[in-house]
Structures are given as C-alpha cells and as structure tokens.
Structure 1
C-alpha cells in the first residue's frame, strides 16, 4: 500500500507536468486541500522529499515546490532530434506525453486526438524512443501498431489480432508487455471491442472469451488515437489526453522545417541532389492540405518522383523539381503570395534556388518507408525502354504510375460495398479479393469513372488463375503491348500497382505481358451503356405494327415502343436496309426486343445484329400465319370444333420452333484460360440445366467472332457469361456480377433470366442489435457461422426474408441463453411437434450441429421443436 508521502509526491509530479497553473511550482495549501490534511503535516512530508532530492523549493512566500531539473531535462536528446515543433505548436502535447511516460510505477495510458495526417504515428513513435531513453522501456522493448481502418471490412481479424479471445497470450496486449501498443483510429472498434478496451483501462487485465483465463497487461503502455469525432467517447476513459494541431494551425516556420525535412528525405531515397526553386517552397507554404502533414509529405514525394523520371537516363544529373510537378491546387496557392510576402521573405530571404544534398543526414529520424519508389521507377524505365517504347510515352506511363501509387495514402479510402465476395471467396484466394478491392479505389480516383462490378469479379478470377498458370509463354504479342502501353498509360500504371501487390503477397513477379492483360480489364468499353432496352413491332401489312405501337405507348406511358410496317409489295433488300436504319436509330445501348409475325424477319434481324453488334432478342408471334390458316380452314370445313382444335394443336407445334442443336453457354475473360475456365467450373458444379460450357477469350474481337460463328453452326448459344457484354449476334449476356452476388443455388434462375433478388439478406442491423445485447456470445464468431446455417435452412424450407431474420435472431438469442445457463420453456407442445415432424427433427438437429460445436453448447429437443414451428409456420 502506498504511503502518504509517496501519494503526495505522485500528486505533485502529475500536477507540475500537466497543469500549466503550476509551471512555477505548487504550494503546500493546494496539496493539503486535495488530501484533506493539516498543512503542517504536508509541509513535513514536502521537506522530507526535498531532503531526498526528489523535490526542490523556492525562497519565496508562499513556498513553492517543483521537480529538480534533472527529472525533466533528458527529453531533449531524443525529442529534440525527432520532432519539429518541440518549442512551438507541440510544446503542450509533449509536456503531457512526458508526464504520462514518467508517471511512477506504470506509465499512464494516452489518448491522442488529431485530424487525419497530422503526424500521430510519428508522434507516438517519438514517445516510444523517449521512453527508452528515459529508462521507462528497455532497449528491446516491443512496439506494435494496429490501424483499425485497415480492418474495416474484416472486423473478425481485427478482434483476433488485438484481443485473441481464445488465447490471450497471442494478443497484441500480451506481445506489447513492457513496451508500447498503438491502436490507431480506435473509434472504428465495434461495441464489443470497446467494452473489452474499457475493461482493460479500468483493471489492466485482459480476459479470454470464456472469462476463465486472464492476463495482467499493466506493463503495456497503451496509446489510442482517434479523430475529433471520437474525442468525447474516449476522453472520459483516459486521464491523459493529447491534442495534436493540424498543419494549418502550425506557424509557417514549422511548415518550412517540415518541407525542408521531406525534400531531404527524398534526396536520400533517390540518391540524387534535389534542386527546388523558390516559387515551389512558396506554393507549398501557402497551401492548405486536407491531409495535413501527410498530404504535404505525399505532395513532395509525388513531385520529386515525377521530376526523377526526366533524369532517369542521366545518372549524374540533379533532380530539378519545377512548378508543373505540383498539382493544380498547390500551384494556385501562389495567388496568395502577396498577402504573406513579408512573412515568407523573413523565412526564405532573397534566395531563389534551394539544393537538398543527398549525402546530408537529417537531424530528425522517422519510420523508414519500405516501398522503394525510386528503385521501382528505374526498373519500369529499363523494362519499357527494352520494348522500344519512346521516351515521351515512358515518361507519361511512369508519371501515371506515380500518381496511382499515391492513392494508397488516402486516409479516407473506403472499399466498394457493392462487391459481394461471399461466393467469390469459395473459388478465389481471399488475398486476391483483398488486393483487387484495394486497386478498384485507385481506378476510380485515377480514371475518374465508375468501375463496373463485373470488372472486379473478372479481375479477381484472372488474378487467381495466375497462381497456377505457367507464365513462361507469351500470351500477348509485342504489337499489342506497345498499343496498350502507349494508348492507355493510366490503366497500365494501375496494372503495375496490382502486379507489385501480387508480387509482395505471393512472391510471383508478373512479366509485362501479364501486366498488359490486367490493363485490358480496366480499359473502358467505349460504347454507351446507358438507357434501357426498347420494343419493336414488325408485322406484315399496312399500319398493323404502327397501331399496336400507338396502343402500347398510350397505355404504358413509356414511349419506348417502335414499329415497322412491312408492306407486302416491298422487296426484301429495301426492307432489310430500312429495318437496319431504324434499329440503329432506336437502340439505347441495351438492345431491342422484337415482336414479329412471320417470314424472313428473323433472318434479317440476325444479319443486322451481326453487322451492327446491337443485341436483338426475338418473340415470335405468328398472328398473320394463324389468321391465314384459320381463314383457309373456315372456307373448307363446316365443323367449328374441328377448326378450333386442329388450329390450337398446330399453333402449339408452330410456337415450339424446335431446334435439334444442343444449347451451350460461353464464358468469357481476356485470355480464356484463367477466369473463363474457373467460371465454367463454377457453372458446371452448381447448374442443373445440362448446358455445355465453353470458355473463350475476348482480348481479340476478330478471333472471338470467328469462334462464335463456328460454334453457332453446331450449337445454339444460350448466353455469354463474363466480365462484359461483347454484344455479338444478339446473344444474351449474363454479368459475372449476378453470378457471384447470389447463392450457388440461384445459378439456374440467373442463367434462365428469371427475376431474382440480386443481393443476399443483410444482417448488419441484426448484428448491431445483438452486439448491444449479448454478454457471452461473440458476435464476430456468430457472423462467420450463423448466416450459412440460415442459408441451409432456407434451401430446405423456402424461407421468406422475414422468416430468415426472425430465425436468425431466435437462434442467436438461444445460444446466448445457453451460454448464460438460462433454460427457457420455448415450446409448450414440444412432444407433439417432435412426434408429428420426425424428419424435420433429424434435419434441423443435423444442421444445428456446427453451431453446438462452435459455441460449445447443447441445444435440447425442446428448443429444436420451437425452431421446427418457425420453419413450418405452425
């Protein structure tokens, strides 16, 4: 137990380090009032502390007590070397940080709040170095950082890494004992994780999921960071709060120091001197960067990398950064130079050129960037030069590549929630899905257009095929490589990034041919894809189609119906040309439905579709032939019933239009080997339609047309399935998006163009509710297991959406009650239900087995009976 003397010292130390009211010292009265002690007794204790050399006192009245200089002076060795603004905008933040680290017995946990990019990571790393130098941490003390934003779409992995509920010794709290654990963007933790964090802050203990085991992690120095929106939530739980200023709040002198520092870093990385004109420094000083210090750093890095490309073929030249290397917003800031000319002159003087020496070492240290940008630029330059691509094109490509690279540093990067990867992950490595998801954001930012989901799915399948594909054979000729590289430099630059991520993850380096194939996925189909399909009536006779068109438009108010009256006296050649002109005029990019009556109309439309690449689907309605046949029979027969029944029988045969050719499905990707083949396997595995599936490549359109034409002579082509619609010969298209956004059991409905709900049931609202209610069940584990159980029951019992949600909540709550040991009478007629539905009992019990095993519970017969009642709507 602490002595009164020790408690007084700790109180004095904390107040002197954190409270600016006591910067000159603290009086006996303040201490006596706090502890409710006699002033004479407090005075005795303070004098003992002075005698012990733990405090010093003034000769003034009243007497003030303060810490000896040696207690607070050793920070200058480290902090002064690593932090810009130690005596300026960061002075208060550093004072609080020092007090937290030096607090007796155990350092006090710290909350750092700041706007994105304000230097939180660098600041925390500085605290770690200072803690080592002050002797609070050992030389080998660990430091771990986990950024919650990186686990936005994988909260289970975050939970496992941070807390490791099953084995707490594997948690980052355990690994950080004796050192520092930094949880960045802590406001993104879910409610369960925040609850565990609060428990740790209060007790210093970390408990296992079943709470049978716990670990003392008091020696872990915890630093949380959050944005301004998370301040209120965390500040109440932590006594030491540090607010870092954003870049706009810092003086220009500190901003210049940061600019000089970042240019010096780039000179060292590039191994070349960097020359910067005065106007560049002025522009950087006057710009407000939304991402603060990080934004300033990235802008300088991008400018230097862009300038480096110009001197890549001259190893002895300096890198000359020009104003055009900066983005437009930074350049525009020079307009404000007049208003701050005096302050800028005081900082820069009359010097017009600044040279940063690549051999000069910085007085500041920082985290090292493991991504060697300049080595990558040199490698790309060499590779493209060997291919005979001209210098100007190479410069454009690498500049685009550099710009794409910096999208990685977007603090507000958000993954596209429209991509449903549940089914995709069954045949594609999750690491592939993760890296393609990341690159999609770069595509949107760099290409300034929306990337269609089918591109995402196609690229995932293609990249997955590269894991097993032999890459020693060239699949793209040199002419195609040069064409793609020179005509689509932005898409090529993004493809390089994906190739680098692939190499980093799987240690497989992709040749330039494969990079070009990836770029093909990203090249936009220039045809307009807006609008909707339209309807076209083509009937023989004057005014027949036109009258039907007028009635349809009048009744539907859609005005998307058109007509062509095929007069009997019109020759086929003229009719073909007129219909072709009409088809081209009315097509909105999504194709045409044609309702026609007889004759060679379908043959004409086949020809038009092949020549124009407009998709046309036919509905044969032989009303004219039917009328001719009935009129002929009526003139010959007297029996009404005979005419009626023979006509109906013949009409049924006529409408069937049997075709003896076997139907096939064609799956498409850029090579035909990777994604198309895997898509074929997926369809073959789950479809019961019996269609033959053939994978083809779409990279060369002429070859694709030739192959499809050859297949049409042998088979009836039911549809294409792939990354985008090739728009050939009116053959219908099924987007890969639909295939992978739905359960495998829905594949036949999708292939037969039957309406289907395109998204699976979203349980996010249910999860949010359960996280607030549950104490024993891990919602993270529930997410990974229960949805598949519900899906399995849905297949067997054809559940509605409402039933699925109700059943989901019922089973989840049942598990919670079982874990709590709460036994409830769920079904009064359990015995009757089990007797009347023995087969259901067997099925449900079997389906629930994985849940019982995962959560280590036993679901009794009474509860199974209740579930059977829900399933059968009893």
Structure 2
C-alpha cells in the first residue's frame, strides 16, 4: 500500500473511532493533526503533512485551518445538527422506492458531494419530513450562498412533489425595512385600512402570497421581537392576523426558511426553539480548494455566456483568484470576477479580439495581493494549476450543467460598455482617448460620487465604471451598517467639496438616510447636488460616460441616469430657488416644525406654486435679533411673511403664528397677502383659539404631515408628556404648545427614519449649566415617548424642546455665551 493510502486509511479509522464517542459525549474529536497521524504510522511529519494537504486538495479529506491544522474525513462527520433527533433524520433520508427522491435540484450545487454533503442531507430531510416539512434556519457569513441554498431547497420540494410546480417561493430581506418596524410587519403580515397613517386600504402581506409554498426570510435577526412572536404564533398554530386586525384570524400553510449572519442566540428563544432544523453553510475559506476552483470556473463560464465570447485566464490570474483573501465569500468572488471581466471587455472591443483575456492587470488589487498571501500550501495550488503555467480557456459553449448556464442579458453592463465605446468613436474620440481618458484638456465636469451601504458595494460599482471606461473619475464611499449618519454626512460633504469643479455633483445612493444628504449639503455648501436612488453599476457607468466624456450639465447627467433605471431624483438638483418672493417657516433647527409647516402651507395653499412663491424652512434662535442667514435672505429675496412658533421680529414683515395656521385663520390671512395685500397694511388681530379647538385641528394637521407615526396615538402620548411638564412649568400658551408638539413629532419621525443627523444646539454648554434641573424634567417627561416608540432623545433634542417652553429666557443666555 502506498504511503498516501496508508495515511488516508489511518485518518479514516481515527475519525470512525472518534465518531463513536458522539453517543456519550458531544465534545468528540473532529480532526487530527499531521503529527498525530505521523506518530501512529511512525513516519516523518513533513511527508505526512504534504500528503494530507494533497488529499485535501483532491477533496478526499477536509481541513480545519489553525495551528496545528486538523484533518478529518467529511463523509464520516455527523450529518445533522443535534436540534433534530437522529431518528428523524434517518427516516427522512432513508432510501425510498425508485423515483421517490430526485436529488437533481442539488446535483448542480458545487460541493454537494463534498463540503456541503451533510448540509444537503439536512436540507432534504427538512423538505421531506411529513407532513409539510421542517422550518429551517440557515446560518453563515455574508456571501456564503444562503439565498441560493434556500432556492435549491424550493426546487427540490417541487421536484419531489412535496410542493406543486405552482407553489410560490417568496423571498424577503428583513433588513430592507429594519429602520421602520411598522412597515416591516406590514409587508410581512399585511394591513387593514386605518392600521396606521398611510394605510388607506386593506393590503395583503407576503405571508398570504407565500401560502401553500415557501417563505424565505433573509437577515431574520433584523425582525423586531413582536414580529418574531407573530411568526412563532403562525408556525405554532397555523394562523396569523394582519396589522390592525383584532378578531379575524387567517390560516396559512407555509414552510419558513430563515437566514442570518448572526449567532442564533440573538433571536427570541420562543421563536428559535420553534425552528427544528439548523443548517450552517461554511465560508469560502472552510471549503476545499477544488470547490473554490470549480466556483471560479463557473463564474467565468457565466460571464462568457453573457457576452458570448471565450475567456482566457492566465495562470497567474487564476492563482490570484484561487489564493486571495475573500471575506465576502462567494458573493465577493463573483463580483471580483465580474469586475475583472468588465475591465478586460473594453480592451477586447478595442483590439477586436476573438476572446476576452483575463490577466492580473485587470484584476482588483486585493486579487493581485493573493499571489503574496497564499494561505493554502503551494503544492495544493500547483497540483491543480499545473507547473507549465498554461492558460485556462473557458467558453460559453462548454458542456456544463444546464442549470448553471446564463443566457445573454440584454441591457447588461457589457452592452453598455460596447454602446458607449461605439458612441464615443462616433463623437470622434480615438481609442487612446477613450481608453486612457484623455479626451481633451482638463475642464470643469460634473462630479460623480457613489455612496452605498456595505463594506464594498459602492467601491465595486465605481471600480467597474472607472476600469471599464479607462478613467479614474467616479468616487465612492462605503457605509458600514454600524456607522452613525452624522459621521457619514461629514465624509460625504468633504468628498463633494473636493470633487466639485463648479458644475455640481451627482450623488448616487442606495437607500435610507443617504437620500437626504443632497439637500443638506447644498444648503451648507451652495454646491448643486442631484441625488439618484437605487444605484446600480449601469447607472454609474452612464453617469461617468456622460459627465467625463460628454461634459454634460448636472441636470442632463441626472436625467440620463434616470432613463437607465427609472428611479426618482430624490431631491432634484439642490440649488437655491430662482423665485424672488419667499415665505419663511422658522423653527429652532430648520429641520423640525419648519419642514412640517412648509409641507402644510404647500398642501393648503396651491396658489403658492401658481404665483412662484418659495416656502423656505430656516433655523432660528428664539427671541434674538435676526440671525445672519435671515439678513442674507432679506437682502436677496422679497420676504412676504414669516410663519412659526417664534417671531424673529423682522420689522414690517408680517408674522403668522403656528397655531393660527393650524386653526385656519392664519391661512386666510396668508391668502390675502399672496393675492396682493400690501405688507404695510395692518392686518386685523388674530382671534384667540381655545386649547381644545387647537388640539382638534392639530390632529388633522399631524395626519397630513406625519408619515410613519399614528397621529392619534402620538397626540395621546404627547399630551401625557405635556401634563407632566406643566406640573413644573406654567400652562403653555397656544404658541408654545403647537411648537412643542410639532417639534417633538419631527424628532420622532427623524429617528424612525434611521436616526438622521441631529442639528447641534447652540450655546449648549451654558444652557446645560443654567437649566440643568429643567432639562432633567424634560428628559423624564420624554421617557414616555421613548418607551412608546423605542427611540431615545439625545441631549440636543431635550435642549430644543426646553427652549420652546422657556423661550423668553433664552436671549440672555445666548448673549452671555457670545460674550465669553
């Protein structure tokens, strides 16, 4: 018997003996080091280590990286998570009559007979277990393929007749609505009319759409506790209620597949214990080298099929892809291969080549670094890539499993690259000018900035566009999920200041609070910023082409991007209005009740738009002389009126209190002003409005302006807050009452929308020292709102709310601060 065969047999025997201990101890030995095998066979450890690594490369054994590395035989590893009794598994995967089990759905899964063998057996058991299968939780790092594994489980269920071919497979990522639990639960369970603000009609949820099939919940740990409880009830009883339903129960027969990147202990115990099957998908690092090589070949094959051109990968490039650190696992590996193919595609068109050539020069830098960070033994790499350094040629016509073949995609970024290349040639640019980005001397162009959530999403899209078009023009900022909005806003603003050359910047973002940055930055810097959401690689390509080579204006670049992906230019182009007449809505921050008043005026007074009158929210410190921004506006615009809880005392400019607008009398007086009543004519005094009348009208106003909060419940909570505060302060007049309610509502809405940046409170240090006791009263009262909405009021929030209450005392504090 050859030495390598003796080593394999010894390892198998040790693993078999170790597994026998599983019945009496869960801490059985899972692997053995080269030193242990060498001692058993009385062989040199170096030779044993070399042979074990070769067996690992051949897929005959598996390895746990470490010092020392441990080897074991995968086929002898326990096949099930202990969550499900072994007898259940044995019954579910036992041999059945011919034709009963069709594993074809898993046959195309790379590693199904290797590192994923036990996971496949678990999945088959979960699907086939009577009567309707076992709810399953998939564990694994980002990018390991949990979503694909769930889809294969669905196909297996259809092929084995557990589900009909018309049974639905519904996929939902809980992270998409994690910042708004109410909307998230509405998406899942459905809503009834009036369940919350904006629920104007009954609407079914994804559970009803998945009835009779499979519901896949990705990032399930982002589901709030009440949602997990509702899912537990569904899994336990088979019934659920839409949001807002109190009596009617709806039946649903669905198999739930959930996935998470987190430790399952982060889930509610009641929810987690109702999921009997737990399957862990290994990371790319944990999988055998041969499987990684097969994945690389598959992804290059898919790209070759897309563009219908053979792909030649040089030996060094292949070594780089086989060896580099890939923390994003299979998802990152696919993206890096696509990025390399996109970079090589332009050169292929330029040279009119019959094949796409992938060299290290077109690969991302971290792939190149793989040649210097080989974690796998060199013998393993060279064994499969051969010593002759031959190139690997992959063609879309290769005989490969049909399920893995991808048809050419119309509108893919390869099509865009070719279209842009031909268009630039028609514009008279040479190949060198296109490839090197040297179309003409430097001049002002629209800046391009990509900002997206994740560790590399924005950078990857910008790299594809820059590499494909041969320029270094698109800039990118990746937004880690644990970073605060204020931090990201600062970084985005600094980058926009750097890249603006006088023609503005197009901000391409994915979702969330990033959509609001354009307007904020324009107001701070004066730089025109257009914001487009739902960013994709083709959008970035088109933006760079239009801005860099076409030298188009900002509006034209933005429109071209929208035409590719008809998303909304969220805030249009952030630039000062051309309107000469303006009404100011003032509040403490310019972001709270001022914005709500602007929306209310524009909704109630359509004649504002008809007469070209701008409504502009501004920040104001109550009771002080007109701040510099107001003086600037007054010098540039014709101020018609000021609306707000505080009167900035701008001389002859009419002031309308917030309560008068809500009560309706202020709106009538504003209409007279809009239609030509001279500002110098004295308006009749506003009639006093009772508190109850004001509160009744306030609820209607909140219903118009609040997007994420039930106004009736909010008003109930805020009145409890005010009742507590008025035990310390005197009874608030109507002006302060409306200002407090509107600003508190704005704070809540802002925090529900992913905690957007909070405006800093001016003179905070002196304010804190002077009103420490009063701030404590406000903080204690606001705890009612914190408990009701699961948010937290920061110190700046409490300072602004207190300032509304004691506004008459603020001027002295501010003047004292300025004199320090």
Higher helix share: 1
Please give the TM-score of this superposition, normalised by the length of structure 2.
0.50
Compare CA radii of gyration and give the structure with the larger one: 1
